[in-house]
């Protein structure tokens, strides 16, 4: 059986069209399947629409979370619930074309565990978004040993053993793209063209994307922390040399009390470096803090099934 996991947050405008297209594809596939929608605390009519879908179609299951937890956690909830031999994670907004699913299934039959859809073009997204995302992937790939494929999202098929591996990762700060890569297992890409959103609007803004990038960096590399010791060490060394020079200079030539520019530059520079690294420490500490609380990832309000 195939489980399709669909996180949905305020998607009332696209759900019917999504349902129509994906059932068309799935019925053509000839495999038994379940469609697991995770309602991530939507404030519009998403839940009501999903309920009516589940009344019409007994392959539809709706997991209604107790509030909005964010896409990564909604996907995790779907993964915990899915019973299929293979699961497909797909967005509700039709940016991930359901028509690609047969190609994913074919690679699964060829023995791959993690078949990720790789976008070769993205229509309907701004130049800034494309560039920042391009830079982010190169940056994070340069910083960690884990091979996080560029230009992929959550749209993918995972085999049962890959899903079981994923379920064993207990972290609360879930940078899914990193986690999919971290579990290992044979992986392969299937290329597709990313369409613009069918309707509705994206839930991402640059602030969220920035935090998402921080999440990825802090959960998959300690290089920023190491940088703190190296740059700190280097700056301390320079400060020491400069101090020695000042002492010698004062002893040999006397001191006519100038030095305001060098003083202020040094103070500002050291202050700046310290603040940056306190900030980096804070990012890691904050995440360590949220991990130690060991809170459950999510709560389910109700599960709707015919």
100 touches ligand UDP by CB under 6 A: no
* Shortest Å distance, C-beta 180 to ligand UDP: 16
* Shortest Å distance, C-beta 35 to ligand UDP: 13
70 touches ligand UDP by CB under 6 A: yes
- Report the relative pairing of strands 300-305 and 152-159 from DSSP bridges: unpaired
Partner that binds at residue 73, options ligand UDP, Mg ion, none, CB closer than 5 to 8 Å by kind: none
Among 46, 54, 76, 95, binds Mg ion (CB under 5 A): 95
Q: Distance between alpha carbon 17 and the CA centroid of its chain, in Å?
A: 26
* Shortest Å distance, C-beta 71 to ligand UDP: 4
CA–CA separation, 147 vs 132, rounded Å? Answer: 19
Q: Please choose, out of 5-13, 116-124, 248-256, 263-271, the segment that lies near ligand UDP by the rule CB under 6 A.
A: 5-13
93 touches ligand UDP by CB under 6 A: yes
Span between the terminal Cα atoms of the chain, in Å: 18
* Shortest Å distance, C-beta 18 to Mg ion: 11
CA–CA separation, 302 vs 118, rounded Å? Answer: 34
User: Residue 47 in contact with residue 64, Cβ under 8 Å?
Assistant: yes
Partner that binds at residue 61, options ligand UDP, Mg ion, none, CB closer than 5 to 8 Å by kind: none
Partnered with residue 60 across adjacent β-strands are 35
Question: Nearest Cα to 29, choosing from 94, 82, 99?
Answer: 99
Among 54, 76, 95, 159, binds ligand UDP (CB under 6 A): 95
Q: How far, CA to CA in Å, does 209 sit from each of 69, 147, 195, 205, 301?
A: 16, 21, 20, 6, 28
Summarize as ranges the residues that interact with Mg ion (CB under 5 A): 93, 95
Binding site residues, ligand UDP, CB under 6 A: 7-9, 11, 40, 68, 70-71, 74, 91-93, 95, 202-204
């Amino acid at each position: 059986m195939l489980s399709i996991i669909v996180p949905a947050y305020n998607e009332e405008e696209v759900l019917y069209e999504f349902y129509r297209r994906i059932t068309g594809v799935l019925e053509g596939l000839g495999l038994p399947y379940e469609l697991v929608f995770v309602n991530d605390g939507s404030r519009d009519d998403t839940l009501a629409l999903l309920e009516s879908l589940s009344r019409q179609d007994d392959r539809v299951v709706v997991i209604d979370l107790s509030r909005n937890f964010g896409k990564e956690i909604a996907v995790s909830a779907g993964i915990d619930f899915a019973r299929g031999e293979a699961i497909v994670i797909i967005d509700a907004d039709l940016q991930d074309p359901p028509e690609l699913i047969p190609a994913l299934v074919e690679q699964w039959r060829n023995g791959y565990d993690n078949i990720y859809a790789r976008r070769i073009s993205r229509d309907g997204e701004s130049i800034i978004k494309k560039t920042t995302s391009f830079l982010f992937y190169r940056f994070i790939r340069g910083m960690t040993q884990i091979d996080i494929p560029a230009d992929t999202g959550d749209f993918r098929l995972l085999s049962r053993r890959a899903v079981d591996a994923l379920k064993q990762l207990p972290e609360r700060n879930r940078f899914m793209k990193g986690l999919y890569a971290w579990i290992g297992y044979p992986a392969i890409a299937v290329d597709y063209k990313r369409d613009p959103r069918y309707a509705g609007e994206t839930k991402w803004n640059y602030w969220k994307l920035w935090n998402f990038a921080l999440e990825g960096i802090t959960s998959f590399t300690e290089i920023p922390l190491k940088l703190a010791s190296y740059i700190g060490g280097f700056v301390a060394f320079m400060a020491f040399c400069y101090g020695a020079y000042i002492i010698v200079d004062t002893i040999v030539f006397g001191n006519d009390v100038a030095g305001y520019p060098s003083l202020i530059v040094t103070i500002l520079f050291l202050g700046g470096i310290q603040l940056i690294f306190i900030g980096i420490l804070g990012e890691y500490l904050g995440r360590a803090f949220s991990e130690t609380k060991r809170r459950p990832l999510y709560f389910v309000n109700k599960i709707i099934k015919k």
